Amino acid sequence: MVVASPNSMMRTKKTKAVGFPTIDLSMQDRSKLSKLIVKACEKYGFFKVVNHGVPKEVIARMEAEGNDFFAKPTSEKLHACPAQATPFGYGCKNIGRNGDKGELEYLLLPTDPVSVSERSKTISNDQTKFSCAVNDYIEAAREVACEILNLVAEGLWVPDKFVFSRLLRDVHCDSVLRINHYPPMKEENKPKVIDQNQRMNSNRIGFGEHTDPQILTILRSNDVGGLQISVPDPDHDGTGLLWVPVPPDSNEFFVMVGDALQVMTNGRLKSVRHRAMTNTVKPRMSMMYFGAPPLNSWIIPLPNMVSPQNPTRYIPFTWGEYKQAAYSLRLGDSRIDFFNTTNQTSN
Ligand SMILES: C=C1C[C@]23C[C@@]1(O)CC[C@H]2[C@@]12CC[C@H](O)[C@@](C)(C(=O)O1)[C@H]2[C@@H]3C(=O)O
Ligand SMILES: O=C(O)CCC(=O)C(=O)O
Ligand SMILES: [Fe+2]
């Protein structure tokens, strides 16, 4: 059921209300459910899911491990810094390899149990407890992602309803788990910034604006806000953009369409531009499962998304090629545009 409940109505400073969809995954009418999900993915590339079936205990154990890790002295956390050539492990303020900075620290983890166990040696004093919490959380988040992707396929009338979820279940999938920790910023350390809506914004950007490159992101945070979604501003014929804050909900998940799903649906579903802000009072901790295919998978518009009236919008590429492009670009770059058929130069 799509519920425009009072707490999902966000009022911007320009007194505009934006209600992001809330979708009840336990809804019995599957055909209606799949249509609602597709509608949300087309309009915003973003929605909240309730009644997702993930046990509270699985989320609580993951959160406890995150809190324990980030509470450690910096000298200990640095033991979990990535070895060269891998992005995995602990990071602080540096995002990616091209000079992007954020007001956060984070853990980036692979999602296969063997690699999680290997990584956990430098992260936790109780490797088994850490690995179990992470593996159980990843499995639960993957199930939510796969169920949503099956519903997306059904809602789009794709003949093979497992076409997306199969990629996330592949043993060679390239999915990742990220745990972000945003310490509160002291007032005196916060420079005033002018945001893209030309308003003075006293909050500081924790994680700069971007779209997620993968297929689907399942985000969960503690009860501290910060996530913002970019939506077209209805006042400017859809040409301007507004940042809309998302009220946090520690019991539920937020779902974001990634670039790869936008491409596979030939642009029908939209990958969502988002960012995270810091605040002055409480630390925010968010956990993202980024569902990605194996590196050698082709990311190509599905046949039923292409027609003479709606020709393919993207050149064929593998997930490995897309990831390589993403890592050679800045966080906020529109990397998907490099693969748009209209942007190709012939020589
Ligand atoms: C600046 C970068 C960080 C990032 C890789 C990139 O070059 C561009 C995409 C970024 C992003 C955003 C979503 C996820 O947080 C992430 C892990 C991903 O897959 O793509 C990050 C990358 C990162 O932090 O390593
Ligand atoms: O921390 C958040 O709420 C969002 C972080 C994010 O978008 C990311 O890590 O890709
Ligand atoms: Fe993101």
Residue 111's closest CA among 93, 129, 134? 134
Q: Which atom of ligand 2 is nearest to the CA of 178?
A: 9
Residues 6+ apart with CB under 8 A from 336: 211, 259, 262, 263, 271, 314
In angstroms, what is the span from residue 161 Cα to ligand 1's centroid?
28
Question: Which residue type does 332 have?
Answer: G
Ligand 1 close to Cβ of residue 291 (< 6 A): no
DSSP states of 202-240: -S-EEEEEE--SSSEEEEEE-S---EEEEEE-GGGTT-S
Q: For residue 25, what pLDDT is reported?
A: 98
Ligand 1 close to Cβ of residue 259 (< 6 A): no
Tell me the ligand closest to 215's alpha carbon. Answer: 1
Q: For residue 9, what pLDDT is reported?
A: 44
Which residue lies with its CA nearest to atom 8 of ligand 1? Answer: 331
Tell me the ligand closest to 91's alpha carbon. Answer: 1
In angstroms, what is the span from residue 96 Cα to ligand 1's centroid?
6
Q: Each residue of 188-205: pLDDT tens digit? A: 655 555 555 555 455 689
Pocket mutation for ligand 1, best pick of 81, 180, 207, 210 (most atoms within 8 Å of C-beta)? 210
Enumerate the domain spans of the chain: 6-346
For residue 86, with 0-12 CB atoms within 10 Å meaning exposed, 13-18 middle and 19 or more buried, which class applies? Answer: exposed
In angstroms, what is the span from residue 7 Cα to ligand 3's centroid?
23
Q: Each residue of 92-125: pLDDT tens digit? A: 999 999 999 999 999 999 999 999 999 999 999 9
Tokens 């990535």, located at residue: 82
Residues 6+ apart with CB under 8 A from 25: 33, 49, 50, 51, 52, 53, 144, 147, 148
Q: Which atom of ligand 1 is nearest to the CA of 329?
A: 7
Q: For residue 124, what pLDDT is reported?
A: 95
DSSP summary character for residue 85: T
In angstroms, what is the span from residue 275 Cα to ligand 3's centroid?
7
Q: What are phi and psi of 190, to 5 degrees?
A: -100, 110
Pocket mutation for ligand 2, best pick of 207, 218, 228 (most atoms within 8 Å of C-beta)? 207
Q: For residue 195, what pLDDT is reported?
A: 52
Token output for 297: 């998978």
CATH 2.60.120.330 fits 6-346, yes or no: yes
**Dihedral in degrees, nearest 10, Cα atoms 44, 50, 51, 56:** 120
Taking the chain (347 residues) in consecutive chunks of 10 residues, what is each chunk's mean pLDDT?
38 56 97 98 98 98 98 95 85 94 96 95 95 98 98 98 98 98 78 53 84 98 96 77 94 98 98 94 96 98 97 98 96 95 78
- 284 as an active site residue: the answer is yes
Ligand 1 close to Cβ of residue 100 (< 6 A): yes
Ligand 2: list residues with CB < 6 Å.
178, 180, 207, 212, 221, 226-227, 274, 276, 286, 288
Ligand 1 close to Cβ of residue 95 (< 6 A): yes
Q: Write the CA distances from 148 to 76, 139, 160, 178, 272, integer angstroms.
A: 38, 14, 14, 20, 16
